[in-house]
Amino acid sequence: MGAQWKAKHKEAAANAKGRVFGKLSKEIMIAARNGADPDMNPKLRLVVEQAKKASMPRDTLERAIKKGAGLLDGGASFERVVYEGFAPHRVPVIVECLTDNVNRTVAEIRVLFRKGQLGASGSVAWDFDYLGMVEATPASADADPELAAIEAGAQDFEPGSEDGDTLFLTDSTDLDAVCRALPEHGFTVASAKLGYKAKNPVSLSGAELEEVEAFLDALDGNDDVQNLYVGLA
């Protein structure tokens, strides 16, 4: 029984890694439309760094860049679409998708929102800030996140989930500049992206929180869902 459980666990881990690589490949293809050279394309450089941190195989990474840049035949054309609505208990949610078939995606999102409420464009976006988000780790014990944020040009910072990890928040136009500056001030960038941060997150616990988490897990399991932004404290 134990060996069988381990096999299932390994399969689940492999599937999870496959989903991560799939999402990163889409982001790479979108970014590479503006050029295949990461040194000349800041958006591509950021997502390539994310892919490397996630241990994406080099051939997978290079193939995604070439497909996005139009250097290979057979590359799917992905479109970014955003849906807004509420999870159970009126928790605001923004769902960011990359899809090659918008009609399929919207039909699937409607089904997934049956336990919540799918809203119109702008129905919850007003309750979020659109920011650059840089996750970074201290390169030394004396790295000061407050000083690094000021010197690198970030708007604010928040402690991360791990000891010493920090989330630096930037203006959407300053993301690349902050990423380049942070290593000079004692922090190694782990990931960086543009995203939404809730202004007034909702606090839940117990069965209500479990219900919302189950709803979000179902959304996140959809192949077209790229990012979820949730107003949950």
Q: What's the total number of domains in the chain? A: 3
What CATH number has the domain bearing residue 31?
A: 1.10.10.200
Residue 54 in contact with residue 191, Cβ under 8 Å? no
Please identify which residue in the block is written with the tokens 């117990």. Answer: 206
Asked whether residue 120 falls in the same domain as residue 212, the answer is: yes
Residue 122 has pLDDT above 50, yes or no: yes
Residue 154 is predicted with a pLDDT of 96
Return the structure tokens found at 4. 């069988």
Residue numbers of the domain that contains 83: 79-126+199-230
The SS3 of residue 79 is strand
Distance CA 139, CA 189 (A): 10
Asked whether residue 115 falls in the same domain as residue 134, the answer is: no
Residue 4 burial by Cβ neighbours in a 10 Å radius (0-12, 13-18, 19+)? exposed
**3-31 pLDDT, tens digit each:** 343 444 445 555 667 788 888 999 999 99
**39-93 pLDDT, tens digit each:** 899 889 888 988 988 889 999 999 999 998 888 876 668 889 999 999 999 999 9
Residue 78 is predicted with a pLDDT of 87
Which region, left, alpha or beta, applies to residue 124 given φ > 0 means left and ψ of -120 to 50 means alpha? alpha
